[in-house]
Amino acid sequence: MERIMIKDLGGRVGEEVLVKGWVDVRRDQGKMIFLDLRDASGKVQGVILPGQAEALEVAKEVRPEWVLAITSQVNQRPEKNVKAGVLNGEIELEIKQVTVLNQAATPPFEVNEDTGKVNEEARLKYRYLDLRTERMANNLRARHNIIKLIRDELANQDFIEIETPILTKSTPEGARDYVVPSRLYPGKFYALPQSPQQYKQLLMVAGVEKYFQIARCFRDEDTRGDRQPEFTQLDLEASFVEREDIMQLNEKLLIKIVEELYPDKKIQEKPFPRLTYREAIDKYGTDRPDLREDKDDPDLLAFCWVTDFPFFEKTDEGGWTFTHNPFSRALPEHEEWLENKEKIGEIITTQYDVALNGFEIGGGSIRNHRPELLSKVFEIMGFSQERTEANFGHMLRALAFGAPPHGGIAWGLDRLIALLQGEPNIREVIPFAKTGEGRDPMMDAPAEIEAKQLKELKIEVKDAK
């Protein structure tokens, strides 16, 4: 007999069906046993009547989270027992046969209840159980739906999805890199990418013109409660575009996500309001302002754009560094200042960030596609010619081969999904999240490696204490 998903049972009243899944709840009621069964598509209530002696005998031993195959007849519930507005609230399974596919140890927390108040260490250690809960399963499905819509919409606009390398080179782009030692080249290291920034620009040089990727990114940051060492971005880049083109494309995409997947939510203002960086700081004291008129309304979404950021800021040592990334293009009227390395603190970039309810969810810029101007950026930052060549020579060489004007953006997908789902932090929407300290209690990572592996890598670990 073919297995039927629980969500599809409603149209099969009077039929005999095979259902497979987990026991959500088991209840004895006199000579009957009720089993609520759960699969990836939903839940349904079943009952074993007194006449089904064999099924009753098996069900007496069954406990929550056991995995069962159940042969049943789908019956219409009496009108007084109908649960309106609930999946399968109008039907009930009359169970004829129960087969145990696997038993289950007693879970460390209730899987049929919300785990929001359960100790997070336990939730992350037993994440596979946490993901069985209704809220977390809904978050996974929402994540899939958002990413699918993004992929479909961008593909319809002739963007192509291209995977960029995970093993790359360490370059100074802001946060610390995760480094990976090379066994074949002792003393040399790969780095895990903080973003696909350089690769997506190289794809523009390659003539791709419209690129996107659902990209895994890695940053070795200090402990912060709502940051993750690995996270997911929507990464996007296009050639022959102006700032307005990228902003309009992304604004329409964000609106489409909300209107199609979250029809109960309301976008406060369309088109999204725009503020310059200076306006945002002067008026709100932050470059990611929360513009909601009613901050108690969980369904109100206030998007806004923030533009015209300073290109450079002072370092603690009195030098200059970039505020976002070194590859941004200055406003056209400020390019002469950049070229002459004058009025450095006044140079404004084409950078644009998009904020939602007080959180930055994305940022990008038009890029500097002229190698001589990019070299000036590194000179202002105090890089010697040798250091620039060592870290970014590949970019300067590529831009010299007819790089088109181009620009793009990256979204923090985890943050966006958490906000749309009404979750308090991004760990709630990341399938296998790590703690705020960057640990994985489930896999017990990070962990020591065997002496043999260290020897192969020609690495010696000294006492870190």
- Is 415 labelled as part of a ligand binding site? yes
182 CB burial (10 A radius; 0-12, 13-18, 19+): middle
The three-state DSSP-derived secondary structure of the chain is CCECCHHHHHHCCCCEEEEEEEEEEEEEECCEEEEEEEECCEEEEEEECCCCHHHHHHHCCCCCCCEEEEEEEEEECCHHHCCCCCCCCCEEEEEEEEEEEECCCCCCCCCCCCCCCCCHHHHHHCHHHHCCCHHHHHHHHHHHHHHHHHHHHHHHCCCEECCCCCCECCCCCCCCCEEEECCCCCCCEEEECCCCHHHHHHHHHCCCCEEEEEEEEECCCCCCCCCCCEEEEEEEEEECCCHHHHHHHHHHHHHHHHHHHCCCCEECCCCCCEEEHHHHHHHHCCCCCCCCCCCCCCCEECEEEEECCECEEECCCCCEEECCCCCECECHHHHHHHHHCCCHHHCEECCEEEEECCEEEEEEEEECCCHHHHHHHHHHCCCCHHHHHHHHHHHHHHHCCCCCCEEEEEEEHHHHHHHHHCCCCHHHHCCCCCCCCCCECCCCECCCCCHHHHHHHCCCCCCCC
When the pLDDT of each residue in the chain is averaged and rounded to a whole number, the result is 96
Say if residue 428 carries a ligand binding annotation: no
Nearest C-alpha neighbor of 183 from the set 447, 464, 449, 463: 449
pLDDT at 216 over 90: yes
Q: Verify that 98 and 141 share a domain, yes or no.
A: no
213 phi and psi, to 5 degrees? -160, 140
Please tell me whether residues 67 and 130 are part of one structural domain: no
173 marked as binding residue:
yes
Considering the domain architecture, whether residues 71 and 211 belong to the same structural domain is answered as no
Residue 68 has pLDDT above 90, yes or no: yes
Q: How deeply is 32 buried, as exposed, middle or buried, from its count of CB atoms within 10 A (0-12, 13-18, 19+)?
A: middle
Q: Is residue 465 part of a domain?
A: no
92, 151: one domain: no
Sign of the CA dihedral with 12 first, then 16, 21, and 26 last: positive
Is 439 inside a domain boundary?
Answer: no
**120 marked ligand binding residue:** no
119 found inside a domain: no
In a domain, 354, yes or no: yes
Domain shared by 144 and 98, yes or no: no
In the predicted model, what is the mean pLDDT of residues 268-275?
Answer: 98
The pLDDT of residue 222:
81
| Domain of residue 25, residue span | 6-102
Q: What is the pLDDT of residue 226?
A: 76
Q: Does 54 appear as a known binding residue? A: no
Residue 222, CA distances (Å) to 121, 175, 199, 226, 362 in order: 19, 9, 26, 11, 21
Tell me the CA end-to-end span of the chain in Å, nearest whole number. Answer: 62
Q: Which residue has the higher pLDDT, 70 or 85?
A: 70
How far is it, in rounded angstroms, from Cα 387 to Cα 366? 25
The pLDDT, as a whole number, for residue 325 is 87
Residue 170 in this model has a pLDDT that exceeds 80: yes
Token pair belonging to 429: 């929407």
- Within this chain, do residues 46 and 177 fall inside the same structural domain, yes or no? no
Answer yes or no: do 84 and 184 share one domain: no
* Tens digits of residue pLDDT in 9-41: 999 999 999 999 999 999 999 899 999 999 999
Map 60-117 to HEC letters: CCCCCCCEEEEEEEEEECCHHHCCCCCCCCCEEEEEEEEEEEECCCCCCCCCCCCCCC
- Asked if residue 404 has pLDDT above 90, the reply is yes
Whether residues 289 and 420 share a domain: the answer is yes
Domain CATH code at residue 136: 3.30.930.10
- Checking if the pLDDT of 153 tops 70, the result is yes
Q: Sorting pLDDT into bands at 50, 70 and 90, what band is 324? A: confident
User: Which tokens sit at 121?
Assistant: 């260490």
Q: Are residues 294 and 405 in the same domain?
A: yes
333 assigned ligand-binding residue: no
Q: How many CB atoms lie within 10 A of CB 145?
A: 15
Confidence of residue 465 (pLDDT cuts 50, 70, 90): low
Mean pLDDT computed over 325-353: 95
Q: Is residue 192 part of a domain?
A: yes
Is pLDDT of 225 > 70?
Answer: no
pLDDT digit string, tens, across residues 432-448: 999 989 999 999 999 99
The CA distance from 259 to 272, in Å, is 15
pTM summary value: 0.94
Do residues 6 and 68 touch, judged by C-beta distance below 8 A?
no
Would 239 be classed as within a structural domain? Answer: yes
**pLDDT class of 338 with cuts at 50, 70, 90:** very high
Quickly tell me which residue has 């995970």 as its tokens.
166
Task: Check whether 220 is labelled as a binding-site residue.
Answer: yes
Residues 135 and 97 reside in one and the same domain? no
Do the bridges between strand 359-366 and strand 406-412 make them parallel or antiparallel, or are there none, so unpaired?
antiparallel
92 phi and psi, to 5 degrees? -150, 145
Convert the pLDDT of each residue in 273-321 to its tens digit: 999 999 999 999 999 999 999 999 999 999 999 999 999 999 888 899 9
User: Is 56 annotated as contributing to ligand binding?
Assistant: no
% of the chain with per-residue pLDDT over 70: 98
Judge whether residue 140 has pLDDT over 80. Answer: yes
List the beta bridge partners of residue 440. Answer: 445
pLDDT of residue 464 exceeding 70, the answer is no
| pLDDT score recorded for residue 173 | 63
Together in a domain, 248 and 341: yes
**For tokens 């203002």, what's the residue?**
269
Q: Is residue 209 part of a domain?
A: yes
| Residue 171: per-residue pLDDT | 81
Q: Out of 67, 102, 137, pick the residue that ends a domain.
A: 102
Residues 78 and 154 in one domain: no
Instruction: Say whether 228 counts as a known binding-site residue.
Output: yes
Domain end call among 102, 137, 163:
102
CATH code for the domain of 30:
2.40.50.140
Examine residue 459 and state whether it is found in any structural domain, yes or no. no
The number of distinct structural domains making up the chain is: 2
